[in-house]
Amino acid sequence: MISSSESLIKHDIRTHNPFIKTCKTTFIQSVINELSKLNLENSLIFIWGEKGTEKEEIIKIIVKKYLPCSVIELTDAFSKKKLPFLGTNTFYIIKNVENIEPSILALFFNNSIKFISAIFLSDNEPEELYRQGKITYETYNLLSKVYKIFIPPLRERKNDIIPLANYFLDEISRFLNQKPKELSKEAKEALLEYQWVENAHQLKQYLTKAFLLAKHQKLTPKDIFGEHNDKLSIRNFLELKIGKLIKDFANIENSNLYDTVIQEVEKALFSLVLDETGQNQLKASKVLGINRNTLSKKLKIYNLI
């Protein structure tokens, strides 16, 4: 029997997350079914899988249930010193589980602290991390007690490749506010044959470049896997994103076109870099070469966080 709390979780997961509604992969649907059976209000979950697998997307599924509760992503500094803002209705995301101190990790297993939930992320399972000497036995022993979700590499989930590709194309289309593009029969066959060493992350990269460069609506294998000039990619991106905007403002005096265009480009750039860095603002600020506080302020202005 499903409790009222679990029913609410199931409702939230299935109806309010665009990734779930759009991405019909067999694996994601199985994860949704598993999560819908759990009481996530006081849960510890360990998600692991090769670099580039859909760990970030699963986080979105889980965190959606907890908003507007506090969601804290632990940095190296926090994980090595102390756990910040420990209290009720707090959700922690620990992407650097190899660096977290056992004494800090143990706080999550304190039965006297209620309604504390956390997601631990890694490219490897706890046993492998311990075998490689990346975590202590104490940390391994603690992590062995949590609920685990393993994401198989994309090359082992052939049935998921096309649904995932279609989801990414739809996401890119909505982000650029452009007409949708679809995969040709030959493109689908090529995607299925490719090994995808970097998994879903690599698939999204290839499809993004193909969407930006291709002038036609049906993508071919050449569009996806062909060699392209990066400068041309940037130019095409700008044409797609702000070309219409420039035409609309061209004949209007005092239209403040410069600021408008800069904001459009900046917003798109921030969004793309955040996607590439797994929504890590510290990494994104380093890639962009700007101060983290400056980035955070602009992300709030653009409603990107």
pLDDT tens readout for residues 281-290: 988 888 888 8
At residue 118, what are phi and psi to the nearest 5 degrees? -155, 150
In a domain, 235, yes or no: no
Q: Side-chain half-sphere of 1: how many Cα atoms within 13 Å?
A: 2
* Gap between the Cα atoms of 155 and 159, Å rounded: 10
Residue with tokens 């393993």: 150
SS3 of residue 41 by DSSP: helix
Do 192 and 125 sit in the same domain of this protein?
no
Query: What b-and-e string marks burial along 95-112, b requiring 16 or more CB atoms within 10 Å of the CB?
Result: bbbbbbbeebbeebeeee
Closest to 15 in 3D by CA, of 65, 67, 71: 65
Do 120 and 54 sit in the same domain of this protein?
yes
Do 175 and 36 sit in the same domain of this protein?
no
Specify whether the CB–CB gap between 203 and 169 falls below 8 A.
no
Count of structural domains, the chain:
3
* Gap between the Cα atoms of 237 and 261, Å rounded: 13
Residue 221 tokens, joined: 């294998």
Sheet strands (E) in the chain = 44-49, 70-74, 90-94, 116-122, 147-151, 182-183, 218-219
As a whole number, the mean pLDDT across the chain is: 78
Q: Domain holding 187: CATH number?
A: 1.10.8.60
152 cis-preceded (ω within 30 degrees of 0): no
Do 54 and 142 sit in the same domain of this protein?
yes
Do 117 and 165 sit in the same domain of this protein?
no
Do 9 and 137 sit in the same domain of this protein?
yes
SS3 of residue 137 by DSSP: helix
Closest to 73 in 3D by CA, of 48, 50, 56: 56
Q: CA-CA-CA-CA torsion for 198, 204, 205, 208, nearest 10 degrees? A: 170
Closest to 152 in 3D by CA, of 30, 19, 27: 27
pLDDT tens readout for residues 68-119: 566 777 665 555 556 665 556 677 888 878 878 788 788 777 755 555 678 8
Closest to 169 in 3D by CA, of 157, 180, 158, 155: 180
Q: Domain holding 134: CATH number?
A: 3.40.50.300
Indicate the pLDDT class of residue 302, thresholds 50, 70 and 90.
confident
Amino acid making up residue 34: E
* Gap between the Cα atoms of 222 and 214, Å rounded: 10
Do 136 and 159 sit in the same domain of this protein?
no
Do 114 and 126 sit in the same domain of this protein?
yes
At residue 206, what are phi and psi to the nearest 5 degrees? -65, -45
In a domain, 267, yes or no: yes
In a domain, 164, yes or no: yes
pLDDT tens readout for residues 198-210: 999 999 999 999 9
Q: Domain holding 271: CATH number?
A: 1.10.10.60
Residue with tokens 């096309």: 162
Do 72 and 9 sit in the same domain of this protein?
yes
Do 163 and 146 sit in the same domain of this protein?
no
Report field, pTM of the whole predicted structure over 0.75: no
Do 57 and 109 sit in the same domain of this protein?
yes
pLDDT tens readout for residues 138-184: 989 989 888 899 999 998 899 999 999 998 999 899 888 889 999 99
* Gap between the Cα atoms of 112 and 102, Å rounded: 18
Indicate the pLDDT class of residue 9, thresholds 50, 70 and 90.
very low
Q: Which domain holds residue 290?
A: 248-305
